[in-house]
Amino acid sequence: MAAQPVPQELFGGLKWRLIGPFRGGRAVAVAGVPGDSTTFYFGAVNGGIWKTTDGGVIWKPIFDSQPVGSIGAIAVAPSDSATIYVGTGESDIRSSLSFGNGVYKSVDAGRTWTHIGLEDTRHISRIVVDPQNPNIVYVGALGHVYGPNDQRGVYKSTDGGMHWTRVLDQGPEIGVSDLAICSGTPQLLFAGTWHTWRPPWSTYAPIDRPGGGLYRSQDSGKTWTRLNGSGLPEGDWGRVGVDVAPDGKRVYALISAKKAGLYRSDDGGNTWTDRLADSRIDFPRGEWGWKIQFLNSRVGFISLENFQGAAILKTVDGGQSWSRIEVRDPQANVDLEGIGFIDEHVGWVGGWGEKIAGGHKGTSSATTDGGATWRDANDIGRFINRFRFTGTKPVVGYASGATIYLVSRPDGRVRVDRLRADETTVLDALLTGGDAARQTHVPSFLALIHPHNQTGVSGRMVDWGVQKEKVRPHLRHGQGEAIDEQPHGHMGGMSTLSR
């Protein structure tokens, strides 16, 4: 029997609501279960581990009983979905961040956990598990971000984490930014090394000290070879991301260097080509991609952060090639973050804008001709770093600022209506003044939220956005220094506020 159509008038009573989960900061770790399209895990940088078994309709916290909330890596054993390894401490390092206390393991799909060592790694970038044996596991450890320490590199266990052996060691100042295992040939591994510190006295410290590189092992980690030349960039490298296809031939490496790019090998890492160089994109030094959006399998956009100008990338062939589009509006927008297009022609970008006394202006720009021309669009808000669209007709969209917007297309024309930010936790980025790091929801005040960021500014939103105010603690000298770093929390002087 065919399903009966739902009367359109019934949709009139539906309202958008936040379904969660409330999480503590960015999510840098995610894992699924092979063969199960509804079960996923994600780890927040200060919100523990969450699990869904219904494709994201309901998320449940499964790590709250543990003494640490910062999650850097999650790996589900391909041969046993009940076995999960978790590396604590995010590796997407900031000037304000929480560190971890090693590796945890569950053998019952997250119901219970056991701490299995590597406590002084603090920040773990990746965990990979042998596809055939759940007891063979590799851990990529970045190590301390404020100074040198011994527990860095690639570690291996062959007994499920009872004992660990360091198989790649580049010294007390060089950690591992990424790690990949070939699912078809598990003896083949790749690791990216990274020599970086993030001292609290420098918001953007150098991230490309000598020692960064790409390593390959063809004997299950017993020996490693650094890959040089053959198409790879010269000079010092920054962060490296790497992955390998099941056949072991195609390898991708995302490399931060003077000639930064997305490098691809089709022979297991022997020779490389820069896929971005092939598309003739000239990336200025100090520019990086920030947000990505794909309209379909062919058309996609990337916003670029650049303190000197504003530009986006566009592809019409699924990422095989990219074109660079300058954002030239009257206000000279710079340093883009949010990007949102509803089709190939109509879109918006949000950014920090030019620097003025006391900070940045915050600017937004819009185009209706695919980026050929741009206009000022600050009427939709400032410091926008998220756009989201859903549905087809009408198109519903929202931007993470102080307001939610309904984007519709009556009579083929685009119209943006300002809606009241009702029953949401969408925060004004101007209020928080930077990348929000941690939010605290106070149960006794159902709508009281304290967003918190690396600049020491906290914000308070009451009554779902009707009232907002800045809260900046006045610090005494020395309170915000790294020496006062709090285990599994934030640095002294930047603690989460509470009421």
Q: Does residue 229 or residue 275 have the better pLDDT?
A: 229
CA-CA distance, 288 to 261, in Å (whole number)?
10
Sign, CA dihedral 14-16-18-19, equals positive
Residue 495 lies in a domain: no
Does 462 score more than 50 pLDDT? no
**Does one domain contain both 272 and 304?**
no
Confidence of residue 300 (pLDDT cuts 50, 70, 90): confident
Least confidently predicted of 8-17, 159-168, 253-262: 8-17
Per-residue confidence at 473, pLDDT binned at 50, 70, 90? very low
User: Does residue 336 fall inside a structural domain?
Assistant: yes
What is the mean predicted confidence (pLDDT) over 180-192? 96
| Beta pairing partners, 363 | 351
Last residue of a domain, one of 257, 278, 299: 278
Whether residue 373 sits in one domain with residue 257: no
Whether the predicted pLDDT of 34 surpasses 60:
yes
Residues 6 or more apart whose CB falls under 8 angstroms from that of 450 comprise 439, 440, 442, 458, 459, 460, 471, 496, 497, 498
pLDDT of residue 415: 59
Task: Report pLDDT for 149.
Answer: 94
* pLDDT in the model for residue 195: 93
What pLDDT was estimated at residue 495?
A: 23
Do 459 and 395 belong together in one domain? no
Are 142 and 61 within one domain?
Answer: yes
Looking at per-residue confidence, does 91 or 455 come out higher? 91
Highest mean predicted confidence (pLDDT) among 34-48, 369-383, 476-490 = 34-48
Residue 232 has what pLDDT? 93
**Strand locations in 35-109, DSSP E?**
36-44, 48-52, 60-61, 71-76, 84-88, 103-106
Judge if 441 and 323 occupy the same domain: no
139 and 262 part of one domain: yes
pTM (two decimals)? 0.62
Mean pLDDT, residues 130-153: 95
Would 494 be classed as within a structural domain? no
Out of 282-296, 364-378, 400-414, which region has the weakest mean confidence (pLDDT)? 400-414
pLDDT the model gives residue 134: 97
Quick one: 303 and 448 in the same domain?
Answer: no
Confirm whether 381 is domain-assigned. Answer: yes
Q: 365 and 235, same structural domain?
A: no
Residue 285 has pLDDT above 70, yes or no: no
Residue 122 clears pLDDT 60, i.e. is over it: yes
Residue bearing the bigger pLDDT, 27 or 220:
220
Name the 3-class secondary structure at 409: coil
Task: With H, G, I as helix, E, B as strand and everything else as coil, classify residue 289.
Answer: strand
Instruction: Decide if 367 contacts 335 (C-beta within 8 A).
Output: no
pLDDT digits (tens, 9 = 90+) for 375-400: 888 777 777 767 766 555 545 555 55
> Pick from 395, 419, 443: which residue ends a domain?
419
In a domain, 424, yes or no: no
pLDDT above 50 (res 451) = no
Distance of alpha carbon 322 from alpha carbon 161, whole angstroms? 43
Domain match, 389 and 271 both: no
Query: ∠ CA 184-190-193 to the nearest 5 degrees?
Result: 160
pLDDT band at residue 405 using 50, 70 and 90 as cut-offs: low
For range 335-364, the mean pLDDT? 76
Domain boundary among 278, 311, 339: 278
Verify that 270 and 132 share a domain, yes or no.
yes
Cβ proximity of 92 and 26 under 8 Å: yes
Higher pLDDT, 313 or 413: 313
Q: Is the pLDDT of residue 450 over 70?
A: no
Does residue 148 form part of some domain? yes
* Domain count across the chain: 3
Q: What is the span of the domain harbouring residue 197?
A: 25-278
Q: In Å, what is the CA distance from 37 to each residue of 8, 31, 33, 51? A: 30, 11, 7, 13
